Amino acid sequence: MPRLSAHGRLFWIAALSVIVLDVITKTLAVRLLTPYVPFDVLGPYGRFTLAYNRGAAFSMSLGAYSRVIFGAFAAIALVVLWRMYRAAGPGERLKVLGLGLAWGGAAGNLLDRLRSGRGVVDFIDLGVGTVRFWTFNVADSGVTIGACLLAVALWLEERQRIAARD
């Protein structure tokens, strides 16, 4: 069996960490929380509120076909992220980390869509009083942090390209 490269290890450790943490936290949320009843963790600023999201980010919905359409988008995203990872060069650790986190997050939410028609399990609820951010989960955090790291990596790449031309 061939050994994984340093990039392979980084990508898979990031992706699998997000998936495992996502599955564990969602399982605990479903077992321990009552749907749509907030449980304060950090006073009124941070709480756990179990919610099911049949749509996409920010509860965007496409009606009865949301599960299938957003599931297909997630599967396509996994392929695109995988191809980007495979094309990453030897010195692109930040890019590979971002891709691994985003891949793990997309996979975590896709697992929810495949397992249940209720929707993706969300439970992290941040805000102040009645001003709340959208409820999210660990997979969403992986996608967001991964996308931010990827954006920084691509920006740094572009800066290096411009500097090399000058």
Active-site option among 22, 112, 122, 125: 122
Is 166 noted as a catalytic residue in this protein?
Answer: no
Tell me the H-state helices in the chain: 6-32, 66-87, 93-115, 138-165
Burial group, residue 52, by CB count within 10 angstroms (0-12, 13-18, 19+): middle
Phi, psi for 45 (deg, rounded to 5): -85, -40
Residue type, 86: R
Active-site option among 22, 112, 125, 140: 140
Contact indicator for 126, 139 with CB cutoff of 8 Å: no
Residue-wise burial string across 69-81, b where 16 or more C-beta atoms lie within 10 A, e elsewhere = ebbeebeebbeeb
Q: List residues with catalytic annotation.
A: 122, 140
